[in-house]
Amino acid sequence: MPEVSIDLSPEHINVDALKVVKRLTDAGYQAYLVGGCVRDLLLGSHPKDFDVATDAHPEEVHELFRNSRLIGRRFKIVHVRFGRDIIEVATFRAPHSEMQTEENFSDGGMILSDNIYGTFSEDAERRDFTMNALYYDPDHDTIHDEMSGLEDLGNRQIRLIGNPDNRYREDPVRMLRAVRFKAKLGFAIEPATAEPLKRLGVLLRDIPPARLFEEVLKLFMTGHGEQSFAVLREYDLFGWLFPDANRLLDNDHAAELIRLALASTDRRIAADMPVTPAFIFAALLWQPYVEQRARLEAEGESTYIASFEAANDVVGRQLQVTSIPKRFSGPMRDIWSLQHRLPIRSGKKPEALLLHKRFRAAYDFLLLREEAGAQLDGLGEWWTRYQETSEGERDELLAPATAAAPKRPRRRRRKPVQPS
Ligand code: ATP
Ligand code: MG
């Protein structure tokens, strides 16, 4: 087994993860830190989470740790809890090629079930990228590197283990993981690993919406969203996640709005400020929403009804690809609908809007729209001034109330909209 003595940044190693490894090895099992935590430690950065791989079976791990829980259906793993930290302990697994029986694979070659334990070497082989198949043994301070991950790490290369086509077919989400690591680490995707991406993006259609939503969060909400967006587009993968938005990226600075929203989220994460998927999804789906609303208005709907229905249509279509939990789609729709109320600069409306619980997000969104190129007659600046002005003097900023415009006659019923 190739072994290298190495100096990991020990100050970044989670002491609880070390405790887990020690208790397992004291009990006679093999146990290593593995995956992203080893990769990140070698790169001198702070790992997000710590994973342990062992030859102990889940029930055996569970017995050793009172503070542990067995989880998962497809493949059981054990969560060992220390306060708010959770160390994930997984039993060595065999690569998927070991069990290419029909019931384990869908027609397209996707893995349906892989609940089979394996040896240490098999576990290394079934991981996605070589840099993610490094095992750290804290007792001896050595790294086991069966897949030449250290070399690739040194060359800053993302390389799939095994045949790229097969590995993407087994699990198409690996394509998004390649993109994410390129965006996050600034590494290159090695040519054979990159080659199938444009060709096999279509396989993402088979991934359940809930899993794709999780991947979208990891791409866009972990500090490198702007870069993830660029790399997704580079490999023609963005459209498999946001088909409607992708078709309209060239219209009205839509791509620029998305880029700015992601860049702003990245800055907030770097500054430890709160962020929400609602804001990012509002930007991602803004252009489809605006164009659907315009279509409905052209058919004679009032702005109010058209806005409501357009939001329903756009969200409904996106839900077929990625889920968007209601706790995010609700606020996202608020951000959109407030965009229609922000332009009213007279009467009591502005004062009331300030109190809206989504005012701040809607105002930030308005500023981004203008920054992206929307011509809104200085609206963002007006709202900035309005907020900076003391309450008693705000009236001076208000436009004189105008006579209400005559209402357009409304058509009774809406024609069914052709899906475009
Ligand atoms: P992050 O910094 O985002 O946590 P990570 O590499 O740790 O990156 P995880 O999703 O935490 O990613 O997965 C932990 C490890 O499990 C990976 O490093 C890799 O070895 C393995 N792994 C995760 N997803 C897959 C996959 N789809 N196919 C094969 N191996 C995977
Ligand atoms: Mg991880």
Please provide the DSSP assignment of 132-196 as one string.
G-EEEETTTTEEEETT-HHHHHHTTEE-BSS-HHHHHHH-THHHHHHHHHHHHH-PEEPHHHHTH
Q: Model confidence over 108-160: pLDDT tens digits?
A: 555 545 557 899 999 999 999 999 999 999 999 999 999 999 999 999 999 99
Collapse the DSSP code of 86 into the 3-class scheme (helix H, G, I; strand E, B; otherwise coil) and give the result: strand
95 Cβ closer than 6 Å to some ligand 1 atom: no
Active site residues: 49, 51, 128
Query: Could you give the percent of the chain with pLDDT greater than 70?
Result: 88
**Per-residue pLDDT for 410 more than 60?**
no
Tell me the C-alpha distance between 93 and 91, whole Å: 6
Of 241, 195, 234, the residue nearest 215 (C-alpha): 241
Of 240, 235, 192, 199, the residue nearest 216 (C-alpha): 240
296, 297, 302, 307: CA torsion to nearest 10: 60
What is the DSSP-derived secondary structure letter of residue 403? P
Please tell me the distance between residue 17's alpha carbon and the centre of ligand 2 in angstroms: 13
Please tell me the distance between residue 248's alpha carbon and the centre of ligand 2 in angstroms: 34
Phi-psi label, residue 141: left if phi above 0, alpha if psi -120 to 50, beta otherwise: left
The pLDDT of residue 395 is 86
Q: Atom 18 (ligand 1): residue with closest C-alpha?
A: 35
* Residues contacting residue 106 through CB under 8 Å, at least 6 positions apart: 112, 206
Between 9 and 185, name the one with better pLDDT.
185
Please tell me the distance between residue 309's alpha carbon and the centre of ligand 2 in angstroms: 40
144 backbone dihedrals φ, ψ, rounded to 5°: -95, 125
174 Cβ closer than 6 Å to some ligand 1 atom: yes
Tell me the C-alpha distance between 174 and 380, whole Å: 41
Residue 328 structure tokens: 């995010």
Q: Could you give the domains of the chain?
A: 1-161 (3.30.460.10), 208-387 (1.10.3090.10)
> How far lies 129's CA from each of 81, 133, 187, in Å?
28, 7, 12
The pLDDT of residue 272 is 96
Q: Model confidence over 153-182: pLDDT tens digits?
A: 999 999 999 999 999 999 999 999 999 999
Tell me the C-alpha distance between 349 and 46, whole Å: 47
Q: Atom 2 (ligand 1): residue with closest C-alpha?
A: 36
The pLDDT of residue 400 is 76
221, 223, 229, 230: CA torsion to nearest 10: 180
Phi-psi label, residue 252: left if phi above 0, alpha if psi -120 to 50, beta otherwise: left
Q: Atom 21 (ligand 1): residue with closest C-alpha?
A: 127
The pLDDT of residue 88 is 97
The pLDDT of residue 75 is 78
What rounded mean pLDDT belongs to the chain?
A: 91
Amino acid of residue 197: L
Q: Atom 11 (ligand 1): residue with closest C-alpha?
A: 36
Q: Model confidence over 86-109: pLDDT tens digits?
A: 999 999 998 765 444 444 455 555
Tell me the C-alpha distance between 159 and 67, whole Å: 36
**Which residue in this structure is represented by tokens 């608020």?**
334
Residue 95 exposed, middle or buried by CB count within 10 Å (0-12, 13-18, 19+): buried
Amino acid of residue 326: K
Highest mean pLDDT range out of 6-20, 104-118, 252-266, 388-402?
252-266
The pLDDT of residue 1 is 58
For the segment 340-355, the average pLDDT, to the nearest whole number, is 91
**Which residue in this structure is represented by tokens 């329903």?**
312
The pLDDT of residue 419 is 47
Query: Could you give the percent of the chain with pLDDT greater than 90?
Result: 78
Closest ligand by atom to 77 CA: 1
49 Cβ closer than 6 Å to some ligand 1 atom: yes
For the segment 370-375, the average pLDDT, to the nearest whole number, is 96
> How far lies 334's CA from each of 59, 301, 331, 410, in Å?
47, 20, 5, 24
What count of other Cβ atoms lies within 10 Å of the Cβ of residue 24? 22
Tell me the C-alpha distance between 343 and 347, whole Å: 12
Closest ligand by atom to 173 CA: 1
Pick from 28-32, 69-73, 264-268, 363-367: least confident: 69-73
Tell me the C-alpha distance between 150 and 130, whole Å: 8
The pLDDT of residue 8 is 73
Q: What angle do CA 23, 25, 29 make, to 5 degrees?
A: 115
The pLDDT of residue 384 is 94
Collapse the DSSP code of 14 into the 3-class scheme (helix H, G, I; strand E, B; otherwise coil) and give the result: coil
Which element (helix H / strand E) includes 206?
A: none
Pocket test for ligand 1, best of 51, 87, 132, 211 (most atoms within 8 A of CB): 132
Between 107 and 213, name the one with better pLDDT.
213
Residue 136 structure tokens: 């750290």
pTM: 0.90
The pLDDT of residue 89 is 98
Atom from ligand 1 closest to the CA of residue 133: 20
**For ion ligand 2, residues whose CB falls within 5 Å:** 36, 49
Closest ligand by atom to 132 CA: 1
The pLDDT of residue 415 is 53
The pLDDT of residue 288 is 98
The pLDDT of residue 412 is 52
46 Cβ closer than 6 Å to some ligand 1 atom: no
**Per-residue pLDDT for 293 more than 90?**
yes
For the segment 255-284, the average pLDDT, to the nearest whole number, is 98
Tell me the C-alpha distance between 383 and 257, whole Å: 19
Residue 250 — very low, low, confident or very high, per pLDDT cuts 50/70/90?
very high
125 Cβ closer than 6 Å to some ligand 1 atom: no
123 Cβ closer than 6 Å to some ligand 1 atom: no
48 Cβ closer than 6 Å to some ligand 1 atom: yes
For the segment 300-314, the average pLDDT, to the nearest whole number, is 97
Tell me the C-alpha distance between 304 and 337, whole Å: 9
Residue 93 structure tokens: 């697994």
